[in-house]
Every structure is written in structure tokens, then in C-alpha cells.
Amino acid sequence: MRRQAPAVARNRAPILDVLRPHLPPRGVVLEVASGSGEHTAHFAQALPETTFQPSDPDPDARASIDAWSQDLANVRPALTLDAAAESWPVERADTIVCINMIHIAPWAATVGLIRGAARVLPPNGTLFLYGPYLRDGVTTARGNVAFDRDLRARNADWGLRTLEAVAALARNHGFLAPRVVEMPANNLSLVFRATS
């Protein structure tokens, strides 16, 4: 049942290093599009006082998530959650984490993610995004250019998003400008704070 994503072994520790200072000592972290569930399991093992709520719209992914976390008391069973949906099965979370979803989903999923996060997070809550982004005025790594081309060939609604477009969307939903952290393999961590 456990799926494995090779990139997780490389990025989970650097992601946790950036994420950890933005988490409350106790509270609920909602992960949107948890995929294999490996990130959730890694974070939960490192942060036993924090409760993790993984989610994914895909039933096979949810089975993998639950298999990875079955022995972790601070991980709830994976929920069915479509980021683009008007309503989510979660009313409140202290932090929302979304890793590597925005570029492999239609823009409507990003809109739904930001809208949902604004609804679910408390004031000063954190929305943490990780993945590859394009940036105005910054030369894009060749690997990211090729990756973007490949994504768009597979699905015209997919592709790398610009940091500026995501930040503008978040600003329109009450988030402050993101803290941007350069990550390995030409990825970025974006840390947004909710204002209301």
C-alpha cells in the first residue's frame, strides 16, 4: 500500500528545516495533496506534539498515506479533499502545508487552495507552499524549463506558476507577502501569513 516518491528522501529534511519555525508548538497541520504520505510521516515523527491531518483526492494516495502513518498517534486518517472545491471537510487548522501540487494541477486548484486556506486558518496562521516556480526577472534553471514544457505537453492546464501570480492571489485573500526560501533542486519554499 505504501507508495514511494524518490524526491521525498531528498527534500523532506530541508522542507522540515524551513517549516519547523513556523509551526505552533501544538496544533493541527493540514496537508493538502499529501500524495504518498511520506512527508506527513516524516514530519509527524519529528514533531510528536503536533497533530497532522493529511488529505488527498485520490483513494490510492489516501491508502498509501494511512499505511505510512498507521503507527503514528499524531496523524489522523487521510481525508478526501479536493483543493479546488468550494468547501473542505476541515473547518480549522493552525497551519496548511502543500508540497508539489500547484504545478501538476489546474490553476483552479491553486485558487481553491488559497481561498480554502484563508477560510480555515486563524489570524497569523501559516500557509506553506513548496515546489518549482518561475520568477519575474530571474533566469529559470534549464531543468525547470524542460520540466514546465513536459508538464504542459502532458496536460495543457499544468505547468510551473509564477511566484508573482501566486503571491498576488494570496494577497487578494488576505495573506501577507511570502517569505521566499531557496531550496535544493531549483525549488522554493513560500511561507505566507494570514492576516484575518
Assess whether pLDDT exceeds 80 at residue 94. Answer: yes
The pLDDT tens digits for 34-64 are 999 999 999 999 999 999 999 999 999 999 9
Return the CATH number of 6-193, one of 3.40.1190.20, 1.25.40.10, 3.40.366.30, 3.40.50.150: 3.40.50.150
Helix ranges (DSSP H) in the chain: 6-19, 38-46, 59-69, 107-120, 142-154, 163-172
Assess whether pLDDT exceeds 90 at residue 26. Answer: no
